[in-house]
Amino acid sequence: MPALWGSSAPAPAAAAQSFAISVVQVDNPPKLDGTLDDPAWRKGSHVQLGWDLSFGRPAGEPTDVYMLADRKFLYVAFVAKQKEAITATQRTNDVGLGTDDVVRVYLWPGGDKGFEYFFAANPIGTRYEYSSENSAFSPAWVAVAKRASDGYIVTERIPVNVMRSDGRSTWRLQFDRRVQVSENLFEWAHASGQTSTDSSYYTGDLEGMGFVSASTRTKPRLAIYGLGEAASRTIGGSTSRMGADFSFPITPTSSLFGTLHPDYSNVELDQQTISPTAFQRQFQEVRPFFTQGTNVYNDFNCNDCTIYPWLYTPNIPTPAEGFAVEGVERTVNLAGFFSNGNGRADSAESAFWSTPDHRVGGTVIHENVSAAGETDDFSLAQVRVGDVHNFSAYATSGIDRGTNVTDPVSGNYQDLGAGMYTPKGGIFAAYRWVGDQFNPLDAFVPINDTIGPSFYADQEFDLTGNGAIRKITVSQDYQRYRNHLGQVNDADDYSNLTIDTKQQLTLAATAGWSWLLLNGEAGNTTQDGVTLTYLGQTNTPTTFSHDFGRYGAGYLHSTVRSTTLKAGPLATMTFEADDTDYRLDNGTLYTQWLERASYAYEIGASSSLSVGVRRIIGTAPYFGAPPQYIDASNISFAYHRSFGRSEAYLVYGNPNSLATQPSLILKYIYYVGAEKGT
């Protein structure tokens, strides 16, 4: 097998320097065949990924990148030399590449205050993409990869009309490459104080892009769906539905979008668990209307947060209709929405702004809920300062008013915080005051009525010798809050040690104490524990953890065991067995058990199948609430197929529900105008 073409030595050090390239225009596009045999590639702009952000040193292996452009597309080629084993297991596009080796190009067509886009591919050409504008971003683009004896090459074609620009001729640009087994993260643009490769503070420049500005004008989008559902009468019976989602440009960098008669039947996230927690569980939002714009609503600094996110849309019932605006106007990011249905109306508006050097910024949010017998009106504002390299500070103030707030002072919120940090660690402190009636209905508030300080520190130590250990991370967390009566109601003092080995084995240990006053019950919720993980950064991890300690009125042991195995070249099977053993001080014993198995089959680049089976049985640990016995089973499966301008789902059940929902759904979506999520 031939060696890779065009490699050279990496940069000697992460010295202060300017990173900029000028785009090379072509009349005829280069071949996309996973090689650089086409002479056109040699004429492209050329950079090297010379710095390893993970370990703060020059890259140990060369990565060369070549870029060309015409009025419709960007053409990018990555030449990656790699002596370690190549990890490339994901074969279905648009579902994430978090466990594979990957190369990525990041683009900010509207500058560092505009939307971020990245396009990623693994060594076999499987694609994934991201936009800070819309989490459903999944346009059609091309990546062709080919393995070689000393690495791999990826050649890409990226359409410029799926990204939003304000017409400027210089875009922000970054390239990176992840090596999974060694945890290296090689990058192009770099500077001291940098903590991530996709931070717009530390990117380079792509000059000469003014000639494609007409191609980046936002296009209207209409997604029309129809479905048929065969379901048991116990959950509403069989039915058929139609509805639509739409997006319409207002300016080059902002849009009006909405939903009419929305359907969220294709939920495929299994979030049921028996892990003990004294607080309400936080769920991930999957409904398309609510996933757009969350980067604006929750852009708040918060050290050791007790309340987050400030807009928690899973609290909002599924509406009959919804309308929203989101965009960037000069130096301000804006978002707002209104949803209505079943006698309840929810709305939110938010904006954040910063100076050109990002040293001073601010964010505001307002939320309103109007329902039968209940109203809520919440506002929050934050000012923050920092040097974006190693220091930040913020001041936050909020008010909650409505049916459930009888004393205005008790509905207030104050938070002051500051931090000193490096790319490998930091010290963060805060002092907050949360009123005992502060509880915005559309925020996530696990606990209120707290006054006091918090402190968090962590440090990573990289070991570059020939020993078995790759890095050691230590952290310390301290919180001590009192309520308005002066009682300690939430206190923690925990230390954590994590050891990562070069054999992909990770050991994490936690020790300390905690105290909680909740629902009229007070007591320790101390849980010390240890977790051992093998291949945790791959798609076949194995994990064992055991936690133990006081939990309210008893002593708790909690054990989690899970493993994922290859089931042929295109499939994986996951097995999990968890249990809790909760013995009260009076001798009463409560146990709960979870059994779970799932099968995922990547049929091809545009289709996948998943099946899940789960059972939960027993009484869960409880704190300040009556015990609850559960005996429930759930089986579900989902098939998805993309056809370019359309996609289809065949779904049985709902993996989010505690017990099986006997419902079979066939759903078809067609996109008119702009592509999905663009």
Q: Are 363 and 299 in contact (CB under 8 A)?
A: yes
Confidence label for 216 from pLDDT (cuts 50, 70 and 90)? low
pLDDT value of position 661: 82
Of the two residues 331 and 381, the one the predictor is more confident about is: 381
Q: What percent of the chain has pLDDT over 70?
A: 95
Confidence label for 624 from pLDDT (cuts 50, 70 and 90)? confident
Rounded distance between C-alpha atoms, residue 91 and residue 602, angstroms:
6
Flag the least confident range among 38-42, 81-85, 618-622, 641-645. Answer: 641-645
pLDDT value of position 290: 83
Q: Which residues, 6+ apart, have CB-to-CB distance to 583 below 8 Å?
A: 554, 555, 556, 589, 590
pLDDT value of position 151: 95
Mean pLDDT of 608-628: 90
Fold classification of 20-216 is: Immunoglobulin-like (2.60.40)
What predicted TM-score, i.e. pTM, was given to this entire model? 0.85
Backbone φ and ψ of 288, nearest 5°: -55, -40
Confidence label for 617 from pLDDT (cuts 50, 70 and 90)? very high
Flag the least confident range among 61-75, 270-284, 527-541, 646-660. Answer: 270-284
Region of 247 please: left (phi>0), alpha (psi -120 to 50) or beta: beta
- Does 55 score more than 60 pLDDT? yes
pLDDT value of position 3: 36
Confidence label for 9 from pLDDT (cuts 50, 70 and 90)? very low
Most confident among 204-208, 289-293, 528-532 (mean pLDDT): 528-532
Mean pLDDT of 223-228: 85
pLDDT value of position 12: 36
- Does 364 score more than 70 pLDDT? yes
pLDDT, tens digit (0-9, with 9 covering 90-100), for 112-125 = 878 899 999 999 99
DSSP, collapsed to helix, strand or coil, labels residue 212 as helix
Q: What is the mean pLDDT of the chain?
A: 88
Region of 397 please: left (phi>0), alpha (psi -120 to 50) or beta: beta
pLDDT, tens digit (0-9, with 9 covering 90-100), for 563-587 = 999 998 889 999 999 999 999 999 9
Mean pLDDT of 251-265: 81
pLDDT value of position 432: 97
Rounded distance between C-alpha atoms, residue 392 and residue 394, angstroms:
7
Rounded distance between C-alpha atoms, residue 350 and residue 334, angstroms:
6
pLDDT value of position 265: 63
- Does 599 score more than 90 pLDDT? yes
pLDDT, tens digit (0-9, with 9 covering 90-100), for 438-493 = 999 999 999 999 999 999 999 999 887 778 898 999 999 999 999 999 999 999 99
Of the two residues 322 and 114, the one the predictor is more confident about is: 322
DSSP, collapsed to helix, strand or coil, labels residue 568 as coil
Of the two residues 155 and 296, the one the predictor is more confident about is: 155
Rounded distance between C-alpha atoms, residue 74 and residue 32, angstroms:
12
pLDDT, tens digit (0-9, with 9 covering 90-100), for 419-440 = 999 888 999 999 999 999 999 9
Mean pLDDT of 292-318: 87
- Does 5 score more than 60 pLDDT? no
Backbone φ and ψ of 268, nearest 5°: -130, 20
Residue identified by tokens 């991890």 is 541
Residue identified by tokens 């809790």 is 580
- Does 660 score more than 70 pLDDT? yes
Please list, residue by residue across 195-227, b when 16 or more beta carbons sit within 10 angstroms of its beta carbon and e when fewer do.
eebbbbebbbbbebbeebbebbebeebebebeb
- Does 518 score more than 90 pLDDT? no
Classify strands 221-231 and 488-501 as parallel, antiparallel or unpaired: unpaired
Which of these, 671, 650, 656, lies nearest to 136 by C-alpha position?
671
pLDDT, tens digit (0-9, with 9 covering 90-100), for 240-249 = 888 888 888 8
Bridge-partner residues for 402, per DSSP? 376
pLDDT value of position 4: 36
Mean pLDDT of 172-183: 93
Confidence label for 14 from pLDDT (cuts 50, 70 and 90)? very low
The full set of domain ranges for the chain reads 20-216
pLDDT value of position 227: 82
pLDDT, tens digit (0-9, with 9 covering 90-100), for 480-503 = 999 999 999 999 999 999 999 988
Mean pLDDT of 128-135: 84
- Does 271 score more than 70 pLDDT? no
- Does 13 score more than 90 pLDDT? no
